[in-house]
Amino acid sequence: MDIYLVGGAVRDALMAPASVSSACAHVDRDWVVVGATPQAMQDLGYLPVGRDFPVFLHPDTKEEYALARTERKTAPGYHGFAFQAAPGVTLEEDLARRDLTINAMAIAAGEAQDPVRAKLIDPFGGLRDLQARVLRHVTGAFAEDPVRILRLARFAARFPDFSVAPETETLMRDMVAAGEVDHLVPERVWQELSRGLMEQRPSRMFAVLRACGALERLLPEVDRLWGVPQRAEYHPEVDTGVHLMMVLDMSARLQAELPVRFACLCHDLGKGTTPPDQLPRHIGHEERSARLLKGVCERWRVPRESRELADVVAREHGNIHRSGTLGPAALVRLLERCDALRRPERFQDALVACECDARGRLGHSDSVYPQRPRLLAALDAARSVDTQAVVNGMAQRAGGAVPQGPDIAKAIHTARVEALARVFTSIALG
């Protein structure tokens, strides 16, 4: 039985420190075991955890150890694969089933403490491609799993200075044309998209998906944004698709959380359905964006936290941008529509997404976004209102009668407007 360190841990150890940020570096290590059986692994104390193929947890470190295996496609989609793990499967056969050459390198377990000086097992030229900054598929087996298109696009976002090998681009286009991405499992699509959104340059993921035609099949609502003009006085970059990519990269620059980045992705979907005779204006695109967002979330089973934040941002980002001109009453109505008083943390995330939108424009990447601190001050003022005191005051004035729900809501709204008026008057006087 022989054990090897494989995949991302080997790749990242071989990369120069300046080429990959610590946020992207793999901390988990993957191991491949050659010449063993599932029973032999269990006899050594390894705990079986693999559902689709034999993977085991080390009895002490709890790291994953997988038996060397081959795979073949049996049906469309990710789950349509048959895996063979037997003592006769070689390390090279296992590496051959991997996605990219830079992920198909290995070193013996005994040398894992110093991967840079270890003897590299590299049958498919992964080190060469790593040095040349190229993302290249290992073998034609890449075409058997359409998830690999998404994985490659995600790696392009992680390593933005890497190019995609021309033959790999051609293969991905052929896969899309053959309808391979139409059979992807929703959970896998969201898994890869969400990971790509969290990389250091998310725009690269979408550029790769768009180049091979996969974006049109997976996210047509996003794909149609390229070529749609916007008013140049507000958007010097003009093209809506270009703007969207700038917004996504700004979300990475601000180290935003996943729900914020997803909200950035979907905030302007409605601009892709603006009637041509209205261009370059996009009247009512916010509501159209929210409707299209619903379809995206249902298709790819987007988690509720991301879905709900994206809906708030899609509907209200225009009003948030214009909030500097709003008076206390309008500000309270905006806070209420965003449910900011009950969910202040989500509202703060919405403001981050709106700042990304404002700064994701040509020449505005370093601009300040005063709407964010102003709205946070407004929220603090509105939340400072003692609602129980308002209710008690109403009852006292009514001689002890219990006030009705609509009357309570109106009184609390008024108290919040008055609180904002005092705060902003104080700010103006100061």
What band does 78 get if pLDDT is binned at 50, 70 and 90?
very low
**107 located within any domain:** yes
C-alpha torsion angle, residues 168, 174, 177, 182 (rounded to 10)? -60
Last residue of a domain, one of 80, 102, 132: 132
Q: Specify the CATH number for the domain of residue 47.
A: 3.30.460.10
> Which sign does the torsion angle of CA 306, 309, 312, 316 carry?
negative
What percent of the chain is predicted at pLDDT more than 90? 78
pLDDT, the chain, mean: 91
**363 located within any domain:** no
Residue 385 has pLDDT above 80, yes or no: yes
- Phi/psi at 130 (5° precision): -65, -45
* Residue 164 contacts residue 195 (beta carbons within 8 Å): no
d(CA 208, CA 115): 31
Residues 6+ positions from 26 with CB-CB distance below 8 Å: 7, 8, 9, 11, 12
Determine the pLDDT at residue 23.
35
Partnered with residue 3 across adjacent β-strands are: 33
Last residue of a domain, one of 74, 105, 132: 132
| Degrees to nearest 5, angle at CA 155 with 16 and 268 | 130
Domain count, the chain: 2
Count of other CB atoms within 10 angstroms of residue 26: 14
**18 located within any domain:** yes
- Helices 371-383 and 328-337: crossing angle in degrees, nearest 10, is 90
Q: Which of 261, 267, 165, 179 is nearest to 216 (CA)?
A: 179
DSSP 178: T
pTM of the model: 0.90
SS3 2: strand
* Residue 187 contacts residue 150 (beta carbons within 8 Å): no
d(CA 45, CA 143): 37
Q: 150 burial class (0-12, 13-18, 19+ CB within 10 angstroms)?
A: buried
- What would the two tokens of residue 250 be? 């700004």
Partnered with residue 4 across adjacent β-strands are: 32, 108
| 81-84 and 106-108 strand pairing | unpaired
**152 located within any domain:** no
**165 located within any domain:** no
Residue 115 has pLDDT above 80, yes or no: no
The whole-number average pLDDT for the span 22-26 is 39
**305 located within any domain:** no
Count of other CB atoms within 10 angstroms of residue 39: 9
Q: Which of 198, 160, 165 is nearest to 99 (CA)?
A: 165
Q: Which helix (H) or strand (E) holds 165?
A: none
Determine the pLDDT at residue 21.
39
The whole-number average pLDDT for the span 148-156 is 97
- The reply to whether omega before 280 is within 30° of 0 (cis) is yes
**111 located within any domain:** yes
- What would the two tokens of residue 377 be? 């001050």
Amino acid identity at 194: S
The whole-number average pLDDT for the span 52-62 is 88
Determine the pLDDT at residue 50.
72
Last residue of a domain, one of 114, 132, 150: 132
The whole-number average pLDDT for the span 288-297 is 98
- What would the two tokens of residue 279 be? 């261009």
Structural domain harbouring 48: 1-132
Residue 82 has pLDDT above 90, yes or no: no
Most confident residue range from 7-11, 73-77, 309-313 = 309-313
- Phi/psi at 259 (5° precision): -55, -35
Residue 24 has pLDDT above 60, yes or no: no
Residue 340 has pLDDT above 60, yes or no: yes
Q: Which of 17-21, 99-103, 198-202, 386-390 has the lowest mean pLDDT?
A: 17-21
Q: Which of 113, 138, 109, 112 is nearest to 123 (CA)?
A: 138
Q: Which of 154-158, 302-306, 402-406 has the lowest mean pLDDT?
A: 402-406
**219 located within any domain:** no
What band does 335 get if pLDDT is binned at 50, 70 and 90?
very high
SS3 169: helix
- What would the two tokens of residue 99 be? 């996605």
